[in-house]
Amino acid sequence: MTGAAREKEAKLLHPFFISLGGTLLMAALFTDFMYSSNGLMQWSNFSAWLIIGGLVLALLSAIVLATEVALGRAGTIRRLDFILLAAAVVLSVVNVLVHTRDAWTSVVPTGIMLSAIVALLLLVAGIRGWTVTAPRAPVRQSESWA
């Protein structure tokens, strides 16, 4: 197997799905800010939709991560990255429940505060690479059998 083929094999899918979900959850901060600045209820609806979409993608990324770990494609779970993403998901579940309230209290002040905390957690996770696992050491075939 060539080095390029081995490199292709080592690519993990879960960081892609984590980044997609994280992007939606971070976008909810913008729509919360827009609602708090003009009071148009549709911005609150957008926030709830973005949070739900982010949570669906978080579930999908968890399924992909579990599959990669079960198949042995992923390395060990890095605790800090897992805690950052798990905290963002838990706070987003609380946030979507907050966004079900009526009118102004659906966003201000609790919803926007939760969105800001989630965005900060996800920003740190994004800087760290959107991955939850440590890279696996590539299996190298020895050149000589002697």
Residue 141 within a domain: no
Helix, strand or coil for residue 11? coil
What residues does 77 pair with on adjacent strands?
133
Question: What's the number of domains the chain is made of?
Answer: 1
Segment 5-52, tens digit of pLDDT: 455 556 899 999 999 999 999 999 999 999 999 999 999 999 999 999
**Which residue range(s) make up the domain with 103?**
12-127
Residue 135 within a domain: no
Q: Are 51 and 96 in contact (CB under 8 A)?
A: yes
Q: Are 109 and 129 in contact (CB under 8 A)?
A: no
Residue 45 within a domain: yes
Residue 78 within a domain: yes
What residues does 133 pair with on adjacent strands?
77
Segment 109-138, tens digit of pLDDT: 999 999 999 999 999 999 999 999 987 766
